[in-house]
Structure 1
Amino acid sequence: MFRRVQEPALVGERLTLSAFTQLSGTLSGYRFVKLVVDRETGLIHFMDSRENLFHVRYIAAHILHMPPDELERRLDEINFEVYHRVDRRFCLGILALHDHRFFSLETVEADTMTAEMLQYFYDEVHANVDQSVPILLKPANHLQESHVANIPKDVLPRILSHELFSTNSFVPLNPGTAEGRLRVFRTEQEYEENQLAWHDIIVMAKVPDDIPRLTGVVNAEHTTPLSHTNVLASGWGIPNAIQLQALDTLAHLDGRWVRYTVDPGATGIGVEPIERPDTREPSWLATRVTMDEPDLDDDKIANLQDLRWRDSTRYGTKAANLGELNEVARNGSTRWLGFYRIPRPPRENLLPYLEQLLGTPDLDRGARNLFRDHIRIPRGIALPFSLHQRFLEASPRLQQAIGKLKLALELDAPQTDAQCVELQHLIRTAKFPDALLTEIDDAIIKHLSGVSTFVVRSSSNAEDLAGFSAAGIYESVTHVSDARGILGSVKKVWASLVNDRSTRLREQAGISLDDAYMGVIIQEQVPSDRGGVMVTTNPLNRNDFRNVYINVASKVTDVVDGEAQPSQYLFNTVEGGGRTVALGESDVDEATKQQLQRLATAGRLLQSHFSPDYTFGQPVDIEWAADSHHVHLLQLRPYA
């Protein structure tokens, strides 16, 4: 018999579109309703999802009538019952509506339903939902994708996550509201021919990674949240979203002042014309970035393995973090279990899940084995700030050019391009003092003999700071093979400290040229089959504590420059398993997915080690490259 119970659910009745609207919540632009299929009673419960109630808490309160204290005691047991038992009583899922064209039906991502159970689940829901809108099963993880692969699509209609993502017209990358002047550019040439101001909100197919500091960003085509542009936008705290067709829908507002809103609970961006505000300067001018006092006394070129986090005042944040990575990989960490020691509802105890991921109850030993067997950090050396200073002080012409640039900045000159270009040219063409040449050559011979290909990276004190990520604004040079190339690349890195963009961005953040220093990393460039970026959070849903976001491409630069679309994955660092968010050139094979799962777990351990506090919740951004045997960690920084 069909019956209705009081809120918070519709039980035993067909879900009409009207009822769906009344019960649905919103996430990432989609309306959705959570549901529970009770196999024992044959009833479906369509939950009131506006409050985003957990499935398990609903079942305990409204079906099993279980007191809250009993639920807390038995939570792990009940989670196993509903997500993993083959003969489970309850099937849990989410029904989402897409542009009023179709529903997608998916389980919770940790669910291990078999092919037969997925078919049963789909059939039951399909029979109890308004038949005017098609329903497509959306496998929630790679395991489910493999289960349904052999079922004909006319028997089990479905859509994969990456197929759905590619058609999603709205992706909120960074929530927020801002007021500014809308600038719509259809081509790179239009963008390059126009000077942008701090109050501009830029709309492009893909916003390039050389943007100045702005008030808002709209990408009219799909892009990865992990490109340099989107990482900068996140660090600046400005609203940023993907909105398909934005070039056309916003063209009539080009040049107008607007209020721009990115709300994850909405179905698209909000753009409302307004009168020009009276504000004469950006609010972020009042917020200055704080930095540690640099140490210029140490002239020693260091082996990266010998550095620790505190050495950032001499060698830069990037080099210090690589040294700290080496220490963790060799000797473990007393902090690396921190994330899993914190209760994260509805999971009150995450340590048993880490035990499953590591395959042993001895968690410290399991973590050490993970890094010993699967993780590598390329060899390298670090040049301290003091070497850069010695190089600059050896040339009177360089000192004169530096003085001209400082004067222009002090006078707040509207254009400093000419001074920056002149100074960069002088740095790149200046003669290396013989003593510096010998020191660098000796250090490479001592620590990097046998390396055939190098990468030369920046490591400034003015990057990877709270409020100033500096992603992509300094130089790195790859595929360097000889001494002449290394010395030229070192000078290119030094010169990037005074390019016009980095100089302006630092000035806006309150970092003067006098306070900015550049160290250099000379590192072995490891052969790899693929590379990418991982952040130990879900940038599309910051409340998601389970997943880390991994981008994969043929090389790291394909991810960070935003030109190519990488393959994008979420990997669960609690229950395990992954799902494909977006496909680039192609999907990866099963062995690579297992490798990425290990990388995700290692990333979560590193998040704990590098956490600035004891909540262990600050995500990290890791660039990596991999071959068939190991993942090589190339750099690590905080993720805004």
Structure 2
Amino acid sequence: MRSRLHLAFPLLCAGMMSAAQAGNFAATAQNNPSLQKPNAPASASKDTQSDADYFQTLVSRIDFEALAARSDQPGAQSIREVKFLIMDVNTDNPSLYFFNTERYPYHYAFASEGLGYSGSLSEFNSTTYFRDDRMHLAGSILAHDHYRSEEGVDGLYTVQFWPVDPVTPALTDKAYKMIAEQMTFAPGQIRYYPASDVHLDIYNNNLAFFESAQLPVIQNEDLFANIEFSILNQGKGYGRLRVINPGDSVPSVSDVVIYTYIPNDLAHVAGIITDSPQTPLSHINLKAKQNNTPNAYMRDAVNNPEVAPLIGELVKYEVTGDGIVLTAATQEEVDTWLESVRPDPQTPQSDLTVTEPALLSELGNGDWIRFGAKAANVAELAKALEPLESEYGHQMVPRGYAVPFSMYNDYMNLPRCQELEEDDDGNLVPDGKYRALCDAERPTEVRNTDSNTLSVSLFNQATPQTLPAGSRDMELVLDNANGLVLFMRDVTNDRWLLNPLPFTDSVLSTSGSSEYRGLNINYLREDGKKSVSIAGDTDFELEVFVLALWAIEAELAITRTRDLPADYFVERSYFEQIESIMADEDFLASPDVRASELKAFRKEVEKGEVTAQMHDKLEAMRTFWDPQGAPYTKNIRLRSSTNNEDLAGFNGAGLYESNTHKPDEGDIADSVKKVWASLWTHRAFEERRFYRIDHFKTYMGVLAHESYGDEQANGVAVTKNIYDENWEGYYVNVQYGEISVTNPEPIITSEGEVSSVPDEFLLAHLLAGDDPYNPEHWWWAQQYIRHSNVETVYDQPVMTENVLTDEETVQLRRAMQAIQGHFRPIYQGDRSFAMDIEFKITATEDNSRGHLEIKQARPWID
């Protein structure tokens, strides 16, 4: 059995319980696939509210829907919920009421207004919750309409209680059997779901009772194993329906995509369907929420008989509370929708006056305009968590440096010139790549050598080598020259130069010299070689021939001086280079061309030369981690920090790239350039293009801190209850090792290759405790939605049953409390404000447990 937080709960008085808490907060799992037909019956596509306050028997699905309200529950969005109340549950004549949950969102409201209950809220609470001898019992029934069992049964109804209400096995059995008897339309489709740790502990400690009572129970693992559909983000989009496999061409904003895998690089698209499960904190869903993109998980969507015929066609794609609406659309509808969702042109804010890398300890949130929001918020995190760091005795926020926007801007504006490289013939030619800083003392001419291996038979003339007019200072060297005759021909004036003195005998055995058209020609025969040097400029085209007196092999090397082409001296900064690339018609028209061209451009940026001053500024940072200087020993993590990510209203999740600089990898500037280059990833470019954000006013800063090696755990969390903002809490995804939470990847388990699943849970507090007005003394409930399916990490069995230990969970919760309290006034947030954080449990060298560290914080986007 997994380790759990064990809590004892007192009776809640009216002053301690919020209205929301007086209702039933229960966990559900996600739904199965449902393709909602546009003209489906009301019972399948919309809620039909009844005038009735309650029913005591539900004889049809129509009755259920007449009472149901939409509810966002942990693991399931927009699920139908009908709340129930059993009055006099402690007697032989209890009364069950399925009540109108839209009209009465709280159990007490129904009891008092719908049934005429005359007691106070405090009296109702004290007789309905937390007592074994309670008089009444409150709960909910959730409709998992898209659940499909292994036996092929569609749909499931789960009976659930408020997660922190310790309902006894006997009361659970009594409630379940009353509900099963009075929901006559769903025989065999009703299960008790112990949704929280409180209920799971009760269930696991009373297995014999539940088995003897023959009470059907479903747990997280079984519920999620049969999930074939889940809603991640509701919305609407238009585009061409495309199936994207690994390696396929890049989708665009006018595509509705079915991903057969979870992509690391997600372009801006019109709609998303994945055939692998997601969590609300996956990068895909963060992007979908930011862009108002409809997003859903549907198992085997490609082969769905109602989806497959529309693949390749223009469609309207809508994710609703009931499922997916997917219908044919016109090009006009696609174009109209696309134009309607694009904002006006935008220019990100920046301040380029700071020119030196700065210690994070000297920065705060307000410095985002100079160093980027990621770096500024990590700096601010240290202030928020300083008291906890002192209390726990370990670092909870990375320490290091931030590189300002101005250094990126200077680097991209530096004038650059071409360098020389050897072509396939060994000639030095301009390389066409503007990486090197321009040098005022650069040469204006270059010496090139063409070497050709010759196989010459008797009187079989070899293919001539042509030298253009204007060649200078030539040297011809014929290796293994015995028996070979060297001819030259003035093509321009149709004259032959023999061996090489004009109009003399065809074979010379001694050295000699001559002049021809103002050239000094020197001939030398020595050690089996014939060499001809020609001083001066040719004003004619020259051909060189070799003739054999017998079959022989030799090598002819021709060296000459020539002027470098005029375009070799053109100065082109990286900004000028990308501006030219962006002006190309093919680049404008094709996402695939953009992806290819941007990849090549990033390679150039990564290889560009930095100034000596830049080099020294960046190298100076390394003494923060290695005070002794070179040789360095620390791995440094370098992370993107722009003025176009981690902002309120725009998280930019996954747009840019980070990398780790190792001590043996040379100058740290080489790794910083990789981060700078990532501003031009295809996904980032497409995002800015869609939002009409000025590419040239988007600047890249760099957050630099020590890399801690293989993490024992990594996770993401939101500093609020994302399912019900009326019930304060925190939502957490966490995974073993460095297996990605935000971009789930395939793993090997005892069941074969499967998609990785993280621990996913909700932490919610009760307004009760030793001091209900002091958050440090509140009592907290931990409600798991699902558990990690990882069995081994770093080739070893996982060491903990939950990814986080109980103590780490408490530290994380307290850190989130501090972060929420610190950042909310900074961002002037309202009651729905929250921060999205990334955290880890650090690695250690002695296999002991590491410590919690918060890596990043940014405003959460609902």
TM-score interval, smaller chain? 0.7 to 0.9
Which residue pairs with 1:317 in the alignment?
373
Kindly report the root-mean-square deviation, in angstroms, between the aligned alpha carbons of the 2 structures: 3.2
Does 2:263 correspond to 1:59?
no
Distance 1:522 1:451, change over 3 A: farther
Amino acid at match of 1:136: R
- Structure 1 residue 509: Cα displacement: 1.7
Which residue pairs with 2:400 in the alignment?
380
Asked if structure 2 preserves the Cα contact closer than 8 Å seen for 1:534 and 1:548, the reply is yes
Which of 820, 823, 826 is the matching residue for 1:610? 823
Which residue pairs with 1:359 in the alignment?
none
- Structure 1 residue 179: Cα displacement: 2.5
Which residue pairs with 1:172 in the alignment?
231
Does 2:103 correspond to 1:48?
no
Distance 1:290 1:529, change over 3 A: same
1-structure distance, mates of 2:786, 2:606: 41
- Structure 1 residue 120: Cα displacement: 4.3
1-structure distance, mates of 2:231, 2:672: 39
Asked if structure 2 preserves the Cα contact closer than 8 Å seen for 1:530 and 1:625, the reply is yes
- Structure 1 residue 246: Cα displacement: 1.8
What SS does the corresponding residue of 1:585 show, helix, strand or coil? coil
Deviations 1:129-163 (A, max 9, x none): 43722432111211211221131453443112343
2-structure distance, mates of 1:590, 1:568: 7
Asked if structure 2 preserves the Cα contact closer than 8 Å seen for 1:451 and 1:524, the reply is no
- Structure 1 residue 17: Cα displacement: 5.4
2-structure distance, mates of 1:81, 1:379: 53
Which residue pairs with 1:87 in the alignment?
133
Which residue pairs with 1:301 in the alignment?
357
Asked if structure 2 preserves the Cα contact closer than 8 Å seen for 1:36 and 1:92, the reply is yes
Q: Which moved more, 1:547-556 or 1:585-594?
A: 585-594
What SS does the corresponding residue of 2:81 show, helix, strand or coil? strand
Which residue pairs with 1:161 in the alignment?
220
Deviations 1:328-369 (A, max 9, x none): 1126xxxxxxxxxxxxxxxxxxxxxxxxxxxxxxxxxxxx58
- Structure 1 residue 298: Cα displacement: 1.4
Asked if structure 2 preserves the Cα contact closer than 8 Å seen for 1:453 and 1:524, the reply is yes
Give ranges in structure 2 of 5+ residues lacking alignment: 1-50, 72-76, 146-153, 417-433, 436-571, 747-755, 767-779, 791-799, 843-848
What SS does the corresponding residue of 2:188 show, helix, strand or coil? coil
Which residue pairs with 1:503 in the alignment?
685
Task: Give 1:128-167 correspondences, 5 Å limit.
Answer: 128-130=182-184, 132-150=187-205, 151-152=207-208, 154=211, 155=213, 156-167=215-226
Which residue pairs with 2:604 in the alignment?
426
Task: Give 1:39-438 correspondences, 5 Å limit.
Answer: 39-40=89-90, 42-51=94-103, 53-63=105-115, 65-66=117-118, 71=121, 74=122, 78-79=124-125, 82-99=128-145, 100-130=154-184, 132-150=187-205, 151-152=207-208, 154=211, 155=213, 156-185=215-244, 187-189=245-247, 192-193=248-249, 195-249=250-304, 250-264=307-321, 266=322, 268-278=323-333, 279=335, 281-289=338-346, 291-292=348-349, 294-330=350-386, 372=392, 376-394=396-414, 396=416, 397=434, 399-409=572-582, 413-414=588-589, 415-417=593-595, 419-438=597-616
Which residue pairs with 1:599 in the alignment?
812
Work out the percentage of aligned pairs sharing the same amino acid. 25
Deviations 1:488-533 (A, max 9, x none): 3211101111233322322322222220111111112235311111
More helix by share: 1
Does 2:718 correspond to 1:535?
yes
Which residue pairs with 1:569 in the alignment?
760
1-structure distance, mates of 2:391, 2:235: 38
Which residue pairs with 2:54 in the alignment?
9
Asked if structure 2 preserves the Cα contact closer than 8 Å seen for 1:289 and 1:467, the reply is no
Amino acid at match of 1:291: P
What SS does the corresponding residue of 1:559 show, helix, strand or coil? coil
2-structure distance, mates of 1:285, 1:122: 51
Distance 1:171 1:97, change over 3 A: same
Greater Cα radius of gyration, structure 1 or 2:
2
Q: Which moved more, 1:199-208 or 1:149-158?
A: 149-158
Asked if structure 2 preserves the Cα contact closer than 8 Å seen for 1:427 and 1:491, the reply is yes
2-structure distance, mates of 1:494, 1:310: 22
1-structure distance, mates of 2:680, 2:342: 21
Which residue pairs with 1:626 in the alignment?
841
Which residue pairs with 2:708 in the alignment?
526
Distance 1:552 1:203, change over 3 A: same
Asked if structure 1 preserves the Cα contact closer than 8 Å seen for 2:414 and 2:574, the reply is no
What SS does the corresponding residue of 2:828 show, helix, strand or coil? coil
2-structure distance, mates of 1:220, 1:442: 48
Asked if structure 2 preserves the Cα contact closer than 8 Å seen for 1:551 and 1:566, the reply is no
More strand by share: 2
2-structure distance, mates of 1:451, 1:581: 42
Deviations 1:174-233 (A, max 9, x none): 111222222234x324xx13x533221111233523232111111223122222222111
Deviations 1:94-140 (A, max 9, x none): 12344455431111223233445434443444454437224321112
- Structure 1 residue 64: Cα displacement: 5.7
2-structure distance, mates of 1:371, 1:59: 47
Which of 84, 93, 103 is the matching residue for 1:35? 84
1-structure distance, mates of 2:764, 2:195: 15
Distance 1:199 1:597, change over 3 A: farther
2-structure distance, mates of 1:492, 1:138: 50
- TM-score using structure 2 length: 0.62
Asked if structure 2 preserves the Cα contact closer than 8 Å seen for 1:224 and 1:562, the reply is no
Asked if structure 1 preserves the Cα contact closer than 8 Å seen for 2:235 and 2:293, the reply is yes
Which of 589, 613, 627 is the matching residue for 2:802? 589
- Structure 1 residue 235: Cα displacement: 0.6
2-structure distance, mates of 1:479, 1:160: 45
Amino acid at match of 1:321: N
Amino acid at match of 2:670: G
Deviations 1:375-417 (A, max 9, x none): 7112221111222234344552354342031244357733444
- Tell me the number of residue pairs that the alignment of Structure 1 and Structure 2 aligns: 585
